[in-house]
Amino acid sequence: MTHAMVLTGVDLVDGQPTKWKVENSWGDKVGEKGYFVASDDWFDNYVYQVVINKKFLSDELNDVIKKEYDHPTLLAPWDQWVLWLKLA
């Protein structure tokens, strides 16, 4: 990972995302007061990791987490998240 952003909104058409509201970390002088709009195609091509609070997931996805992933994961020192946290 080379950059982190906050997804603050999504535009849905017929239940499918078409564009995303993105808050960048460059401050409010870039974009529209620090915000950008990204197409869903951009999101599909350039976003490869997301962190989502469990309270925003469907019951079905929360069940999957409880069955398979609801335990701490020890990250290797070379994991991109670990490297990013050391830089933050």
DSSP string of 2-25? ----EEEEEEEETTEEEEEEEE-T
Question: What is the per-residue pLDDT across 9-61, written as a single tens digit (0 to 9) for each?
Answer: 999 999 999 999 998 877 788 888 889 999 999 888 888 778 888 888 899 98
**Whole-model pTM over 0.85:** no
* 59 vs 70, more confident: 59
Please, what are the domains in the chain? Answer: 6-87 (2.40.50)
CB-CB contact of 58 with 65 (8 Å): no
Cα gap 61→58, rounded to integer Å: 5
For the segment 60-78, the average pLDDT, to the nearest whole number, is 76
Q: Is the pLDDT confidence value at 88 over 80?
A: no
C-alpha distance from residue 20 to each of 33, 40, 72 (Å): 16, 7, 29
Confidence of residue 84 (pLDDT cuts 50, 70, 90): low
Instruction: Tell me the CB-side half-sphere exposure of residue 50, using CA atoms within 13 A.
Output: 13
